[in-house]
Amino acid sequence: MMHRYLVLFFLFLLVPTTGLALNEGLGKTPPEVDRRTPTATVSGFLEATHARDVERMPHYLWLSHLPPEKQRVEGARLAKRLMFVVDRKLWFDFSHISQEPDGDPADPLYDTLGQVPLGRGMRDIRLRKVKGPDGHPVWVFSEDTVRAIDALFAEHGSPLMEKLPPMLFVRPFGMGVLELWQWLGLALLLSVGVLACKGLESLALRIAIRAASLTKAGWDDQVISAGRGPLRFVILSFVAAGSTRLLLLPPPAQRAVDVLARSLAIVSVAWFVLRFVKLAARFIEQKVASQTGADEGRVRGLRTQLAVLRHVVVVATYVIAASLLLLQFEQVRNVGVSLLASAGIAGLVLGLAAQKSISTLLAGIQLSITQPVRIGDTVIVEGEWGWIEEISLTYVVVKVWDLRRLVIPMAHFLEKPFQNWSKVSPELLGTIELFADYRTDVEAVRAELKRIVENEGKHLWDGKVQGVQVTGCSERTMTVRALISAADSGKQWDLRCLVREKLIAWLQKQPHGLPMMRAEASLPAVSPLSPSPFTASPAHPGENVVAAPGVRRE
């Protein structure tokens, strides 16, 4: 290793003895040219070339192999070509470029900035430390790099670039990485791309609709409907990723465009999946409901399963799309690797912290499979009567009869009892209990009930069950129960109210329909000389008589 350093040191000392001064054809070095360190040389070269400063550009290259009279013109031309190549194929990372005048201790005469493809191999882009005109060491692009500039430009550049006006190569946005012609090209490609994507989408959908008309499945129609919109942005992402290559963007800008294009494609695919799931669920529900003789309970059960499964797919789509978007960034991937290293502990902690949430999600999936309740079921929960309006992964919304919404955790339906009036079928029996006098004609009540359900209640009664029974009695009244049936809970409630109202009105018109209170009074014997107003007759002393209710005399 010591011999190597000695050889390089003697080579460095021999440079000025060759009789060739560094770029002697360029004349005096401008004072603003700083070549003391590799970092100063690279930053100065980029600043001069992007500003098209023909006075400064050649001073950053090794041009001693050229005749002195050609060094200024050829130096400016080669500097612009080198700038064009490195801007598009090699983005300098200043964190890896030495900031010391002595350069890299491992190779004090050279500093390799990177490699650019050339032919079937790679060409090093290097700096070399040489003695400047004032005898102090300076850093310039090495001779082998300068000699390869024309070959590199022939492979990665374009002769058209040298014919464009210099004003198109300025960077209008301060420290931006894109030149003016590239900004104009992006705007033009974006405008043309949007119009082209609309046309391509219209053509693709027209062909798909023509093909779908030849089938009877119906699924292809849902795919076409879901693709209307997302397909356009998927095409736009591919067009943007491909067409921007024509602009020869710098690596950071091209990476940013590629990330945006991939993000647009991911969001578009997620959008398509969400729309397709929604349309497919509606298609399945309508197809089952349209079948002749389809059971309403089966339709509501299918609607419940589709609702829960749709929520699962939606959540999974959001999670996967967000993960793919974040994994495009190196920092996130590094964090992901670190997290995977501690996945066991993190999984245990998250499992303990989110056990209730996880159990709720599992309860939602279990409810969609076992179906103790379905969307549209009539239930009584927490003392409230209503209908199941919405089922999500974590809660159930019950629409109460007075239009209030009762939000109940999913686990409640798996852990606590509740009433489901339409679990098997929506048909229900309803009862109306009345308290009537003992002298009420029960057969007449039966006839009146039949008349009510066949006339005023015919739009509510399903025609199956109607009857009257005496179900109880007390010392004053007897209990008469009317039994009626209806197609669902809503009609059953309205029919019960109607029958109750009509039967009460009918009982009011009967001479012995409504309950009457009775009492007996026992009176002792009284003298005929002292007649009592409560005595039935003076000729029958001590006889029991009927008195006013609650009145007793001794």
- Contact predicate 446/462, CB 8 Å: no
Neighbour tally for 472: CB within 10 Å: 12
Output the CA torsion 84→85→89→93 (10° steps): -80
Fold of the domain spanning 428-509: Alpha-Beta Plaits (3.30.70)
Q: What residues pair up with 45 in beta bridges, in sequence order?
A: none
Please write the tens of the pLDDT for every residue from 293-305: 556 666 766 777 7
Strands 384-391 and 419-420: unpaired
CA distance 462 to 279: 35
DSSP 70: G
Residue 397, helix vs strand vs coil? strand
Per-position DSSP letters for 481-531, written without gaps between them: EEEEEESSHHHHHHHHHHHHHHHHHHHHHSTT-S------B------TTS-
What pLDDT is recorded for position 238? 84
Pairing of strands 428-436, 405-409: unpaired
Q: Assign 499 a pLDDT band (cuts: 50, 70, 90).
A: very high
Regarding the domain delimited by 361-420, which CATH topology (the fold level of the hierarchy) does it fall under? SH3 type barrels. (2.30.30)
DSSP 8-state class, residue 30: P
CB-based burial, 352-367: b 16+ in 10 Å, e otherwise: eeeeeeeebbebbebb
pLDDT at position 468 is 92
In this prediction, residue 223 carries a pLDDT of 76
Quick one: pLDDT band at residue 48, thresholds 50, 70, 90?
confident
Find all residues with CB under 8 Å of 177, minimum gap 6, and list them: 87, 171, 250, 252, 253
Q: Please say if the pLDDT value at position 545 is more than 60.
A: no
Of the candidates 460, 295, 462, 315, the one whose C-alpha atom is nearest the C-alpha of residue 376 is: 295
Q: CA 39, CA 95: separation in Å to the nearest integer?
A: 9
Enter the tokens of residue 513: 């329909």
Specify the pairing of strand 378-381 against strand 419-420: antiparallel
The pLDDT assigned to 11 comes to 44
Task: Answer whether residue 372 shows pLDDT above 50.
Answer: yes
Per the CB < 8 A criterion, the answer to whether 200 and 231 are in contact is no
- What DSSP string runs through 296-364? HHHHHHHHHHHHHHHHHHHHHHHHHHHHHHHTTSHHHHHHHHHHHHTHHHHHHHHHHHTHHHHHHHHHH
Where are the domains positioned within the chain? 2-163, 180-294, 361-420, 428-509
| Per-residue model confidence as pLDDT tens digits over 201-236 | 788 878 877 777 777 766 677 777 777 878 888 888
- Mean pLDDT for the chain? 78
The answer to whether residues 12 and 5 touch, using CB atoms and an 8 Å cutoff, is no
The distance from CA 20 to its chain's CA centroid, rounded to whole angstroms, is 68
The conformation of residue 543, written as its DSSP 8-state character, comes to -
Is-same-fold flag (361-420; 428-509)?
no
Evaluate whether 374 touches 300 at the Cβ level (below 8 Å): yes
User: Which whole number is the average pLDDT over 515-523?
Assistant: 68
Mean pLDDT in residue range 453-469: 89
Whole-number percent of the chain with pLDDT over 90: 8
**Residue 103, phi-psi category: left (phi > 0), alpha (psi -120 to 50), beta (remainder):** left
Residue indicated by tokens 């008309």: 213
Cα–Cα distance, 249 to 261 (Å, whole number) = 15
pLDDT band at 348 (very low <50, low <70, confident <90, very high): low
Residues 6+ apart with CB under 8 A from 403: none
Segment 161-187 shows an average pLDDT of: 71
The model carries a pTM of: 0.52
Q: What is the DSSP string of 214-256?
A: T---SHHHHHHHHHTTHHHHHHHHHHHHHHGGGGT--HHHHHH
Question: What are the φ and ψ backbone dihedral angles of 208, each rounded to 5 degrees?
Answer: -65, -40
* DSSP SS3 for 42: helix
- Between CA 208 and CA 200 the distance in angstroms is 12
Nearest Cα to Cα of residue 41 among 163, 138, 166: 138
> For residue 530, what pLDDT band results from cuts at 50, 70 and 90?
low
Residues 6+ apart with CB under 8 A from 529: none
